Amino acid sequence: MNSIKVKSPATVANLVCGFDILGLCLDSPLDEFTLSITDTVGVTIENIDNYNLPTDASKNVSGAALLKMLENENDIKGFHLISNKIIKPGSGIGSSAASAAGVIVAANHLLGNKYSKLQLVDFAMYGEEVASGAKHADNIAPAIYGGITLIRSNSPLDIISIDHPELFVTILHPQIEVKTADARNILPKEIPLKNAVTQWANVAGLVTGFMQHDYNLISRSLEDVVVEPYRSRLIPHFYEVKNAGKNAGALGGGISGSGPSIFMLSSTAEIATSVELEMKDVYLRTGIEFHTHVSKINKEGVKLA
């Protein structure tokens, strides 16, 4: 096999209280990548979307991840990538992770699936570093493993897939850009012990709620006293949207990744659709352009197209 096409999913990182450690995989939107093995050294990139992303591989999220993988390879010289991004960069639903994870899973197929999922996450994190300056795995891991994942440790990497009940995700994406690097820079380097206690109680509650399929516990645990107070200022009408979603029956929600997207979790597709209507209603009155999506949790991650 010399060429392969994959579809790579959007993801929601943090899941409110789990900054940099929790994430889930969405069914849609999906990027498309066609990857081929070439005889030329390095990675060449052809973009067929309108995002004007860098074609210099070392400055491109997909390219940087593939270059890292090539450092490990003696049998092949290079890759050619045709990149069709659907997930808008800077949207907060894991656009850079979809780029890095998608091409790394594609490359692994071309190489006879020789690498473990853990190794694939490790390669893909080099792409994430190009995007945000930080090698966080909370979008990459759910994109590669599917479902809901916990990054217990970044170094050495320790990733745990978390069982969960049926969940539906409603996303509202204001058409403004929040750069992950900027959204990280505004966070305090230290937090009061009292807030840390509240936060880790909520993380433990959320993971237990997922594993015990306890919607009420999930709902009670979707609270963030560490990051949301700072980042919510970057997202116009954040609390109005969040409250509208909760009033429509969502279990809870908050900022998706580093924003500007806002996500809500619901126990049924019907509730997720009512939540979408109420969130839309808030934004229709603001004059700010936006998109909404409703998605199931994708248990598979990156898949062959």
User: Which residues are known catalytic residues?
Assistant: 128, 180
Q: Any idea of the CA torsion for 89, 94, 100, 104, to the nearest 10 degrees?
A: -140
Site string for ligand HSE, 112-141 (x = CB under 6 A): ------------------------x-xx--
> Are the C-beta atoms of residues 212 and 6 closer than 8 Å to each other?
no
Question: Could you say which residues in the range 17-36 bind ligand HSE, by CB under 6 A?
Answer: 19-20
Long-range contacts of 111-117 (CB under 8 A, 24+ apart): 111/73, 111/75, 111/76, 117/144, 117/145, 117/159
Q: At what angle do helices 238-247 and 269-284 cross, to 10 degrees?
A: 150
Count the site residues for ligand HSE by CB under 6 A: 12
Considering beta carbons, is residue 13 or 279 the nearer one to ligand HSE?
A: 13
Residue 147: count other Cβ atoms within 10 Å of its Cβ.
19
Binding pattern for the stretch 162-191 against ligand HSE, x by CB under 6 A and - elsewhere: ------------------x--xx-------
Question: At closest approach, how far in Å is the CB of 184 from ligand HSE?
Answer: 5
**Distance (Å, whole) CA 191 – CA 199:** 11
Q: Please, which residue, 37 or 187, has the CB nearer to ligand HSE?
A: 187
258 binds ligand HSE (CB under 6 A): yes
104: tokens are: 């790394």
Q: What's the closest the beta carbon of residue 98 comes to ligand HSE, in angstroms?
A: 11
Q: Does 257 bind ligand HSE (CB under 6 A)?
A: yes
Task: Pick the closest to residue 146 from 7, 3, 293 (CA basis).
Answer: 7
Residues that bind ligand HSE (CB under 6 A): 13-14, 19-20, 136, 138-139, 180, 183-184, 257-258
